[in-house]
Amino acid sequence: MSASAVFILDVKGKPLISRNYKGDVAMSEIDHFMPLLMQREEEGALTPLLSHGRVHFLWIKYSNLYLVATTLKNANASLVYSFLYKTVEVFSEYFKELEEESIRDNFVIVYELLDELMDFGFPQTTDSKILQEYITQQGNKLETGKSRVPPTVTNAVSWRSEGIKYKKNEVFIDVIESVNLLVNANGSVLLSEIVGTIKLKVFLSGMPELRLGLNDRVLFELTGLSGSKNKSVELEDVKFHQCVRLSRFDNDRTISFIPPDGDFELMSYRLSTQVKPLIWIESVIEKFSHSRVEIMVKAKGQFKKQSVANGVEISVPVPSDADSPRFKTSVGSAKYVPEKNMVIWSIKSFPGGKEYLMRAHFGLPSVEKEEVEGRPPIGVKFEIPYFTVSGIQVRYMKIIEKSGYQALPWVRYITQSGDYQLRTS
């Protein structure tokens, strides 16, 4: 079972628009939602599911709006929440910013969308690209759109239109890995994980079937490829786009799918492995007779020498009462950002194996200010192209289409900083 009705409320709990899908919950029940929410908030016992009698409210807050689904039965809560977040995503793509004003300005389109997104309490067409084929933002086109049901709505493949044609058939594959790292003041790694995504940009004619092969450890073990010569990666928390055939992946780890047209995220994954910090930071702070402070920061690239990190930014915290900054860098440039109490050291190109220094001198007020709180960590931003820290590889991309055309797959690897912080003593 799913939702009986969906409401969009303003920040005070007043309904802006609603859609009753099943008629088994009185629409007046929504009047109990806001008092219940405020009562729970005062008690410090606020939960994402609130109940009044036999009626359950499943809700999320976005910007200055509440999106609330009501149900009488023991509904599939994860399905309802996924639907509410998907609704936010669709509205945001239609109206750029989703807020009270954009709902008020687009009542007709919002109601049309609510009508198409769900049917009798069950999610239906939730792909904004498909919805935009027949629900347009020009009011006069809404009427003409009703007379023709797009084939994608009745297809088994609702995320791709038929009859797509390109002169040149290509697929661009981006493997992007973000490194999350937290190092304590003693130099010990407290947190280390890789969050990866595989994004596709598809320019293919017709209705192609794609098969993606990765150096997946489980696949290698199934097919007898595991060994010292074949480097494999054990993927965790794998999430796929709806186009991937999950039963096929469960059976033989084959990633098989008919892709949407254009840009989309095919999959995401996580690896909780001990990652050697790609850019290592050491810092020394010296105070001289309470009148000035000197900060020395050393940055070292601990990745392959043939790789280069681009757009490196090292954010070094400084005392809030510091003034008169002077900098000396062996490479790049440093600037003081007083509103953030930070020095940002920018290095355009940082080759692997290299080591660079930055010195910063600041004046301090004559009266020493006691440090009540600990110093914030040093943050690092970077991007390393043609490199993945996990070693994941696209082994092949097979493109099968009934017309038999040849298509070119292009692969690009990028490693970038996620939440990358190093604490200093």
DSSP track, 55-73 = EEEEEEEETTEEEEEEESS
Scan for tokens 């009462």, then name that residue. Answer: 321
End-to-end Cα distance, the chain? 55
pLDDT of residue 369: 53
pLDDT of residue 218: 78
Give 129-176 pLDDT, tens digit per residue.
788 878 876 533 333 334 445 555 555 677 888 889 999 999 999 999
DSSP 216: B
Give 193-211 pLDDT, tens digit per residue.
999 999 999 999 999 999 9
SS3 234: coil
pLDDT of residue 411: 96
pLDDT of residue 140: 32
Is the alpha carbon torsion for 318, 323, 328, 332 positive or negative? positive
Question: What mean pLDDT, rounded, does the chain reach?
Answer: 88
Using pLDDT thresholds of 50, 70 and 90, give the confidence band for residue 26: very high
User: Which one, of 114, 120, 66, lies nearest residue 90 by Cα?
Assistant: 114
Using pLDDT thresholds of 50, 70 and 90, give the confidence band for residue 337: very high
Helix or strand holding residue 412 (H, E): strand 408-422
pLDDT of residue 159: 86
pLDDT of residue 150: 54
Residues 79 and 70: their CA atoms lie apart, in Å, by 13
Residue 177: pLDDT above 90?
yes
Query: Global pTM?
Result: 0.73
**What is the β-pairing status of strands 378-385 and 189-203?**
unpaired
